[in-house]
Structure 1
């Protein structure tokens, strides 16, 4: 999952498919400061290759990133000189200091395997927030909106490469999904190469997310039809965290 070949092309591919990392980072920042005026520090959990974080670094005085894939962090570091990037699991990590905001984008939280893990992940986020801090989470697709057998395909030019991406997503039972993604990458130096990856996600219902936020100590709201249609959850931590 999220190996070196994907890390190398990840942000270029998504930008070429229409993802505007800069505008999304500005929107997320606006939402955070609507709930926490003057928010100056941010932790990006599941920061990937740094597509959002390099923009957050312009918008906050202090930013850090956490990512499970070492290959993604290798791709992120050249974009983020001087920014602390931590190899770690969102379900159980412990960093020094706290942040005014914790964000988790791109549906990364869908990699938790059940409601207990989801709640534990959000509790971990809460422990890294200052009093009154804000968490902003882009969920994976809700169970009630999931399309079994969904197929997606793109061919893009990134300037250095031509990339074809094809995916097929199916339900796997027990409210989970598996996405098989195949890539063809062509460039002058290496010719054409093919590789594939499989991504597994838990399909939580919206109310299950909301219950997990509440159990983790957040006042939560949901904003529909942003971040590519998956929406965002915005939670404000209640009181002091241990």
Structure 2
């Protein structure tokens, strides 16, 4: 996957994503939910740190990601933010945080309800009692169009990128066989291929998992990106067992 082998291309192919605008929405949401300026906020699956960059001046941010090459880019972008490598299904903090964010559909890479429950339990243990969880899910199955082609490009003087995919479905997963063309100055053109599988999780199933792992949760249709929504959950006061 590009996350492991060509992390430097990630931000370029997603140059269209409005991290600044989405972060404004996040700040408004956190304020509405009582998360004050200076609160401790953890981002799970933080990638190259673009949300951390937008939020670090307002909150005491920290983050983790499973892919070390992505974290290396994040460390350069936000050198003052504590970062560590971890799997969202298996991580622990020394001290709980006030809010935890899991954004840009990273949760969709978990392949079963069991893995979702493992991650949700870790999220609950990472939060103080009453702490806030914000999860941006993968799109719902009814909004996914199998057979639909899509393409993203990037261009500057030294680098041209093209990534094309035709959407597929396999059981309860969206399957995206992504094909890249990479043209860099003074280098042969490269063809890269990677397969992404994102699980469709019905709203009622995700809400049940969050409730079972110690949250009071709701789903909001209006989220950061069109068509994805947000799960917003409060950690209950009772202790979450491992």
1:219 aligned counterpart, secondary structure: strand
Indicate the residue corresponding to 2:3 in structure 1: 3
2:190 aligned counterpart, secondary structure: strand
Indicate the residue corresponding to 1:153 in structure 2: 151
Residues of 2 paired with 1:53 and 1:199: CA distance?
A: 24
Q: What residue ranges of structure 1 are gaps of 5+ in the alignment?
A: none
Residues of 2 paired with 1:26 and 1:117: CA distance?
A: 30
Indicate the residue corresponding to 1:119 in structure 2: 117
Normalising by structure 2, we get a TM-score of: 0.90
Indicate the residue corresponding to 1:70 in structure 2: 68
Indicate the residue corresponding to 2:206 in structure 1: 209
Counterpart mapping for 1:55-134 below 5 A:
55-60=54-59, 62-134=60-132
1:21 Cα deviation (Å)? Answer: 0.9
Deviation larger for 49-58 or 131-140: 49-58
Residues of 2 paired with 1:32 and 1:66: CA distance?
A: 20
Indicate the residue corresponding to 1:144 in structure 2: 142
Residues of 1 paired with 2:189 and 2:57: CA distance?
A: 36
Residues of 2 paired with 1:95 and 1:216: CA distance?
A: 17
Residues of 1 paired with 2:222 and 2:13: CA distance?
A: 22
Indicate the residue corresponding to 1:229 in structure 2: 227
Indicate the residue corresponding to 2:184 in structure 1: 187
Q: What residue ranges of structure 2 are gaps of 5+ in the alignment?
A: none
Aligned length: 238
Quick check: 1:198 aligned with 2:158? Answer: no
Normalising by structure 1, we get a TM-score of: 0.90
Residues of 2 paired with 1:79 and 1:180: CA distance?
A: 29
Residues of 2 paired with 1:131 and 1:115: CA distance?
A: 24
1:78 aligned counterpart, secondary structure: helix
Quick check: 1:12 aligned with 2:9? Answer: no
Indicate the residue corresponding to 2:20 in structure 1: 22
In the TM superposition, structure 1's runs of 4+ consecutive aligned residues that sit over 4 Å from their partners are: none
